[in-house]
Structure 1
Amino acid sequence: MSMKNKKTNRKSHWRLLHQYYTYTGFYSFLGRSLIKAAPPILIFTAILLGIHFFVIDVNTMLIYVTDNFPPIGVFAIFFGSESFLGLIPPEIFIAWCGKSAYPLWFLSVLGILSYFGGIISYFLGRGIASIPSVFVFLEVKMSKQIKNMRKWGGILIIAGALLPLPFAIASMSAGIIKFPFGSYLLYGVLRLLRFAVYGALIFGTL
């Protein structure tokens, strides 16, 4: 097959994917999800600024945490959060890394822990899928997430890994529908890129 035909086939493949995501509503879903994610981020930022200007300097607070709490404890809290629904914003921990003695090393550990936290969420989903009563319950509670994962699969995992979307929930949904584990690992590794980008941005502002 000539190079021209290969390029044409690639273009046709990407065009078909684009059409599929358009017709199935992926782009509109992504836009709505980012809009929903904006208020918590803005609230978190407002609280942080309020603490900074009216209570205590944020840099002082982060240095206090760094000096008085063992890193293993902070890492354990972060890993627990990333493994179970991602309840605590990762940005707090990234800012903490910026005031540590080894910011890049600690940031790398965070990224790896987040990645493995997603794997735990994936296997929680696989375990849930094997318990009929629990599966039926969650299939109702997480019907939208499961339906979306069945439609979009890998691209939804990539979005959860890179964007301010709930990566743990995307991972659990992937486990529930038994998304191929090897493909999940491949797509999920982009979580490391998110921490690298956010780290660069947050370290630059502290």
Structure 2
Amino acid sequence: MKNDQKKNMKSNTRSEKKSKLQLLHQYYTYTGFYKFLGLSIKKALPPILLFIAALLFVNYFVINVNDVLLYVTENYSDYVVFAVFFASESFLGLVPPEIFIAWSDKATTPILYLSILALLSYIGGIISYFIGKSITKIPAMHDYLEIKMAKHIKNTRKWGGFLIIVGALLPIPFSMTSIAAGMIKYSFIGYLLFGLLRFVRFYLYAIAIFSLL
């Protein structure tokens, strides 16, 4: 009897887990998350391919990219480059991270420099999160960003962590996703955990960029 009860309890637990997953799947289907994810990937691919094509074109027909990166490495302090990158990642992500990933390949220790860039991007995202959180206390700024980032905020409210994952991995400005997460007061611990995928993005992109240069 006890064995039967245990088996029934296990099967009930499995069915509960399955039903929760099914409900979650239904929710993301009905709210259009999968459609959004597909569109995001489609939008992400052209910029990546365009960047690679532009990099190859410039390298073979305009100027040797390696020479440019070496010039930057030799004439600008690493701290200056890191500072520019950190500022960009903290405020709307205006400069594509791929440029800095390519720069890290010319460093004496590429993996270390790449890891520093990934860490700075992660910390920059945290700063953006708190910017979003503090903006809610300034009515004028809050109202402006509510309109400016309406779609981002709406999607973050609907999908939360999954949207942070998309922002961390795809070429969508991670800073904007982080600001939106802060504005809706998304769980900070959850944000930190999902944001760790930022490191994955940098290492994956580095594999492609390092092989081209």
Q: 1:197 to 1:143 in 2, by over 3 A?
A: same
| 1:137 Cα deviation from its structure 2 partner | 1.6
| 1:32 Cα deviation from its structure 2 partner | 2.0
Deviations 1:131-158 (A, max 9, x none): 1121112111111111111101111001
Residue 56 (structure 1) aligns with: 63
| 1:116 Cα deviation from its structure 2 partner | 0.4
Residue 90 (structure 1) aligns with: 97
Q: TM-score, normalised by structure 1?
A: 0.92
Task: Give the counterpart of 2:164 among 153, 157, 168.
Answer: 157
Does residue 13 (structure 1) correspond to residue 36 (structure 2)? The answer is no
Q: TM-score, normalised by structure 2?
A: 0.89
Does residue 125 (structure 1) correspond to residue 132 (structure 2)? The answer is yes
After superposition, residues 123-202 of structure 1 pair within 5 angstroms as 123-202=130-209
Q: What 5-or-longer segments of structure 2 have no aligned partner? A: 1-5
Task: Give the counterpart of 1:107 among 108, 114, 117.
Answer: 114
What is the aligned-residue identity percentage?
58
Q: 1:42 to 1:197 in 2, by over 3 A?
A: closer
How many residues align? The count is 206
Report if the CA contact (8 A) 2:44-2:170 is conserved: no
Q: 1:37 to 1:200 in 2, by over 3 A?
A: closer
Does residue 22 (structure 1) correspond to residue 29 (structure 2)? The answer is yes
Of stretches 135-144 and 147-156 in structure 1, the one that deviates more from structure 2 is: 135-144
Report if the CA contact (8 A) 2:167-2:177 is conserved: yes
| 1:3 Cα deviation from its structure 2 partner | 4.4
Task: Give the counterpart of 1:44 among 51, 55, 77.
Answer: 51
What is the CA–CA distance in structure 2 between the aligned matches of 1:159 and 1:9, rounded to whole Å? 28
Residue 3 (structure 2) aligns with: none
Deviations 1:29-66 (A, max 9, x none): 12222333344334433332221122211122222222
Residue 81 (structure 1) aligns with: 88
| 1:198 Cα deviation from its structure 2 partner | 1.6
| 1:24 Cα deviation from its structure 2 partner | 0.1
What is the CA–CA distance in structure 1 between the aligned matches of 2:14 and 2:212, rounded to whole Å? 43
| 1:4 Cα deviation from its structure 2 partner | 4.1
Of stretches 191-200 and 164-173 in structure 1, the one that deviates more from structure 2 is: 191-200
Structure 1 counterpart of 2:145, one-letter code: L
State the structure with more CA Rg: 2
